């Protein structure tokens, strides 16, 4: 089922309806119009034959994806997008995900709304609107890297993310991706990390003649100590890699040199990636500020609570700490993206994930960097029209940034 709405006229339409109809009917219609239904709704596809290969979600259910087929000039172009949603680092946190959409395809919404980079309207997604657009659902808890054969009958937890990745790609190849002329592997948050970790392996699975690139949205998680001086995120990622048996599925160019757990951090991987990669990230990534820099575990009194909710409320000392985080973020980025094949769009907004929301991807009022919207920068880079590599000035210099953190669904505490 495809539902199209002109996002910018919904409020106007709502007011017109109000003038003509009874109050109770108006309220009902306003609620329906103002819901986030821009773009289209796409049905779910379950990869049921993957179960026999052991490629399953945490609860043992089959993996799933949503595919909206390309048309016109985009019929042989493919955008494959990883869903995000944090990770689980121990049995307790994985059990907590097991019976949710992040651990079971039985709990996934169908159909799913496509917007932003997944939108099928040219005015809202100028370069990828008519491509085959795929959203791979995330249900393994380790950015599609895990592979543990044994299953404890007491928990019935399956750690098989790497198998899910292969099973879905094989299914898409059979459905026409084997004829792809263009292919872009993308993802948001934990999915943005997956698009980095699987970038070269994705390229290897496609035909030799295919133009393949990768895009990481809010997936450049850095290895930095929290406000207490503890290596919180490094410890957490180490637990994820260990629990899920991820080491053997992380890039060999990294694991051959470093502790495999470090290879979950893009800063140790990106420089060795051979496939062209675009890094889209906020220098003040709201998820990293909330969970890496000032996790709740090291702030029991809630000193950082207001600052994490709204960067404008940070005290001078907190703001200096946040600015120091930006400096460390940029230092790791400089060392790993110094190649002409890599694209870089680092704005100074307080957000997390900018490709999936229409408001930040491409519409009136969307964020800009160098007078360029995100969609324009990525489209030009993919088609080799402009090797976009720009970093924004420090907060609060960019007036095009949204006033608040728009993305809430990926803010799972660690």
Positions annotated as catalytic residues are: 189, 285, 352
Q: Which of 303, 356, 399 is CA-nearest to residue 118?
A: 356
Residue 414 to residue 408: CA distance in whole angstroms: 15
Q: Which of 170, 45, 40 is CA-nearest to residue 105?
A: 45
Q: 328 near 310, Cβ under 8 Å?
A: no
Q: 5 near 119, Cβ under 8 Å?
A: no
Bond preceding residue 111 cis, omega within 30 of 0: yes
Cβ within 8 Å of residue 149, ≥6 positions away: 54
Q: 186 near 217, Cβ under 8 Å?
A: yes
Residue 211 bridge partners (DSSP): 182
Q: 406 near 36, Cβ under 8 Å?
A: no
Residue 83 to residue 63: CA distance in whole angstroms: 12
13 exposed, middle or buried (CB, 10 Å; 0-12, 13-18, 19+)? Answer: middle
């Amino acid at each position: 089922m495809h539902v199209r709405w002109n996002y910018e006229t919904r409020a106007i339409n709502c007011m017109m309806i109000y003038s003509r109809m009874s109050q109770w009917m108006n309220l009902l219609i306003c609620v329906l119009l103002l819901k986030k239904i821009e773009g289209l709704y796409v049905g779910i596809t379950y990869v049921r034959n993957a179960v026999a290969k052991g490629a399953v979600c945490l609860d043992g259910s089959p993996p799933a994806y949503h595919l909206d087929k390309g048309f016109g000039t985009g019929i042989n172009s493919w955008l494959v997008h990883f869903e995000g949603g944090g990770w689980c680092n121990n049995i307790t946190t994985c059990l907590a995900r097991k019976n949710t959409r992040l651990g079971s395809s039985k709990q996934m919404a169908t159909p799913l709304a496509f917007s932003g980079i997944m939108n099928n309207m040219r005015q809202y997604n100028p370069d990828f609107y008519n491509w085959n657009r795929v959203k791979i659902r995330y249900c393994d808890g380790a950015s599609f890297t895990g592979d543990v054969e044994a299953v404890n009958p007491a928990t019935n937890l399956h750690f098989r993310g790497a198998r899910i990745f292969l099973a879905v790609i094989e299914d898409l190849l059979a459905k026409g991706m084997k004829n792809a002329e263009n292919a872009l592997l993308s993802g948001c948050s934990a999915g943005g990390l997956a698009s980095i970790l699987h970038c070269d392996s994705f390229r290897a699975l496609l035909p030799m003649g295919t133009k393949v690139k990768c895009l990481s949205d809010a997936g450049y998680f850095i290895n930095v100590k929290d406000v207490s001086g503890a290596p919180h995120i490094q410890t957490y990622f180490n637990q994820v890699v260990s629990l899920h048996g991820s080491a053997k599925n992380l890039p060999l160019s990294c694991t051959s040199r470093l502790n495999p757990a470090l290879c979950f951090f893009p800063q140790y991987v990106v420089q060795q990636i051979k496939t062209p990669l675009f890094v889209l990230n906020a220098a003040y990534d709201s998820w990293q500020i909330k969970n890496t820099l000032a996790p709740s575990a090291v702030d029991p009194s809630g000193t950082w609570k207001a600052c994490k909710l709204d960067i404008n409320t940070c005290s001078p000392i907190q703001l200096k700490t946040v600015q120091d985080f930006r400096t460390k973020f940029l230092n790791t980025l400089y060392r790993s993206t110094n190649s002409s094949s890599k694209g870089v769009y680092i704005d100074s907004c307080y957000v997390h994930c900018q490709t999936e929301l229409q408001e930040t991807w491409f519409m009136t009022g969307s964020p800009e960097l160098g007078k360029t919207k995100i969609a324009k920068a990525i489209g030009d880079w993919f088609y080799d029209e402009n090797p976009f590599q720009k970093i924004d000035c420090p907060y609060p210099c960019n007036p095009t940034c949204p006033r608040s953190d728009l993305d809430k669904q990926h803010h799972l505490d660690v």
